[in-house]
Amino acid sequence: MKDSIHPKVFNTTIVCTTCGTNWPTESTRQNVRVDICSHCHPFYTGEQRIVDTAGQVDRFMKRLQTSQAQQADAARRRDEKNKPAPKKPSLLKEIYGDEA
């Protein structure tokens, strides 16, 4: 084998930023951090909870509310536009009255 062609391997720990679990391993990087691990992932724990470290759920809910408000506003404007115009009194009734 040739020297200096292989990467350095470090004894490091992987840290889960959600639950704080640490486990030792060997890696070419030092101090590896992961967002979610098998101790806190809903698939492995059986819990139905949302782990939102990046704020994605909040952004989605904000977009959803904006979208629903725009749809409601468009429906209101469409209903106002399609509302029948008020009836004008007949010109003959206006001139001759109700005696015709």
- What is the reported pLDDT for 55? 82
The pairing of strands 22-27 and 10-16 is antiparallel
pTM of the predicted protein model: 0.42
Q: SS3 for 43?
A: helix
Contact 33, 19 (CB under 8 A): no
Radius of gyration from C-alpha coordinates of the chain:
34
User: Has residue 100 got a pLDDT over 60?
Assistant: no
Mean pLDDT of 12-24: 90
Greater confidence (83 vs 72) lies with 72
